[in-house]
Amino acid sequence: MATAKAHTNIALVKYWGKKDQDLIIPQTDSLSMTLDEFYTTTRVVFDPALTAEQITVNDQPVTGKGAERITKFLDIVRQMSGRQDFARVDSHNHVPTAAGLASSASAFAALAGAASRASGLQLSRRDLSRLARRGSGSATRSIYGGLVEWHRGHDDATSYAEPIMEKLDFGLEMLAIMINTGRKKISSRHGMQSSVITSPYYASWKEVVANDMETMKAAIQAKDIPAIGHIAEENALRMHALTLSADPGYTYFNNETLTAIQAVRQLRDQGINCYFTMDAGPNVKVIYDRRDRERIVDGLAQTFAPERLVVSPAGPGIEIWDENNRLIIGGQLNFDY
């Protein structure tokens, strides 16, 4: 038995499209910030007495495609470890599922940590990152805290994430505007593939990401929050342009998404440095310096109820506990990357 806790991450430079659907090798590199506020805790027990997988999320049984996706991932762990037992998986999401808030990132990172350790594997965080990627691409980044880069690579061994700055020593922070926490109609997987195959602008997108990765890493090194925010905002808009230019075109925005974008721009017009980004969902995340937090929250509260504004500093990397509830990965321990 083992338990793991992993946090969601929000990409500042987006990954949108896979080069290998099975291994989940992306078309481009990406860069994200792990969030403290949203996370998943998962316990896994491999039990020789079980005759089938037993999977619950938030105390509700998981069946159908959701269960098949988890079982497929556990099959990878079983193949790696040589263990053949079925597993009991008990997961609790402290983030809305499939709402564009990176729930799959924290979910599969936590599952990778708990399942690998419960099966007897002792993986480095780099190898955990590679394993988590097989469940959800963005989960590869949730193994680490702070600011994280995912190297796209060209095969299973070379596609992994690593931290750029795990403990932020400057004021970068995010706020999520909770527009709609329901399940989105178009999954990220389907949306990505549609954009890759049908958008006439996809080749240009890969050039955009290559440039944005360079400028974003320079902005982080300079601790330049306005530059970080500007690059992230433009990158997000260009990613969403791929959804509009697909055939058939689609969007994750709704009316309130556009209202939130306008509210952020109005604050910026008032001299407050804040910027927006969005993943595959209607919810908007605001990037800013924590010194401006109160003014931003007060400004957004003119349009959105305070309970819909969730502030989150940068979060930590994965934590894993053994069957005796001893912390074996995480906290202040040193890591083999």
Asked whether residue 189 is assigned to any structural domain, the reply reads: yes
* Contacts (Cβ under 8 Å, ≥6 apart) of 186: 250, 252, 280
Say how far apart CA 15 and CA 29 lie, in whole Å.
Answer: 7
What CATH code is carried by the domain that includes residue 144? 3.30.230.10
Judge if 130 and 234 occupy the same domain.
no
Quick one: 7 and 132 in the same domain? Answer: yes
Count of the separate structural domains present in the chain: 2
> Are 98 and 183 in contact, with CB atoms under 8 Å apart?
yes
Examine residue 335 and state whether it is found in any structural domain, yes or no.
Answer: no
Note the pLDDT of residue 185: 77
According to the model, what pLDDT value does residue 96 have?
A: 64
73 and 103: one domain?
yes
CATH number of the domain to which 251 belongs: 3.30.70.890
Distance (Å, whole) CA 22 – CA 24: 5
What CA–CA distance (Å, rounded) separates 290 from 174? Answer: 8
Angle between helices 103-118 and 64-81 (to 10 degrees): 40
| Same domain? 164 vs 292 | no
Q: Is residue 116 part of a domain?
A: yes
At 189 the three-state DSSP class reads helix
Residue-level pLDDT at 97 = 59
- Output the pLDDT for position 335: 38
> Is 336 inside any structural domain?
no
The pLDDT value given to residue 165: 97
The DSSP string of 91-138 is EEEES-TTSSS-HHHHHHHHHHHHHHHHTT----HHHHHHHHHTT-GG
In 3D space, the residue among 335, 280, 274 whose CA is nearest the CA of residue 309 turns out to be 274
Four-CA torsion 149, 109, 239, 29, nearest 10 degrees: 30
The answer to whether residues 19 and 140 belong to one domain is yes
Rounded CA separation 9/20 (Å): 22
Q: Within a domain: residue 30?
A: yes
Identify the pLDDT of residue 100: 53
308 shares a domain with 181:
yes
Shared domain check, 261 and 135: no
207 three-class SS? helix
Q: How far apart are alpha carbons 324 and 332 in whole angstroms?
A: 19
In a domain, 334, yes or no: no
pLDDT of residue 180: 82
Low-confidence ranges of the chain (pLDDT < 50): 332-337
Could you tell me if residue 337 is inside a domain? Answer: no
Residues 146 and 228 in one domain: no
- 234 and 297 belong to one structural domain: yes
Q: How many helices (H) and strands (E) does the chain have?
A: 8, 15
pLDDT in the model for residue 101: 63
The reply to whether 120 and 176 lie within a common domain is no
- Assess whether 140 and 191 both reside in one domain: no
Same domain, residue pair 156 and 254: no
- Decide: 226 and 233 in contact? Cβ < 8 Å: no
> Can you give the residue range of the structural domain that contains 177?
172-312
184 belongs to a structural domain: yes
What count of other Cβ atoms lies within 10 Å of the Cβ of residue 315?
22
| Cα dihedral sign, 99-101-107-109 | positive
